[in-house]
Amino acid sequence: MSSRLFPLYNIDQPVGPGKPNMPDDVRLVQALLIELSRFDRSLWVQDVPAQARSLATSGSFSDTLGQWILALQRWAVKNLGGGSNFKADGIIHPMPMASTIDVSTHFKSGRISILGLICNRLWKYNRDAYLRIGDDYRVPWIPGGWDN
């Protein structure tokens, strides 16, 4: 059967309360959530408290980013198969990688990566916006050698 693969963004370390929150990882998560919110405004974004609805790509983890992550995770748990598919813990974990070209959107627990969900939804909504995030924030291609 034919299939389509699309570029996935991944992070090096978890983003969330008490996690490493590496600036590049945080900035990527912020950029992806901001762009996804343009399309998902009537879905999970409405559950972000009004005082936290403004998010910037600062590269620093904040309570506001934490509220955005939790709102999306809770929406995914409620609407996309429950706790067996997603975990609402306020943390964005890196997607599992067996090698530089083998990225999985599922963890060993069977749960789906929220980062994978974000990438997939944004790719479906607006591929140009999705790819522009990587260009704007200089996210390297893996494996390397794609820049001409």
Q: Which two tokens stand for residue 143?
A: 């494996």
pLDDT at 6: 65
pLDDT by residue (tens digit) across 82-129?
Answer: 999 999 999 999 988 766 666 778 888 889 899 999 999 999 999 999
Say yes or no to pLDDT of 55 above 70: yes
Say what the pLDDT of residue 7 is: 77
pLDDT of residue 105: 84
For residue 44, the one-letter residue type is W
In degrees rounded to 5, what are phi and psi of residue 122? -70, -40
pTM: 0.90
CA distances from 112 to 51, 73, 118 (A): 29, 11, 11
Would you give the end-to-end CA distance of the chain in angstroms? Answer: 32
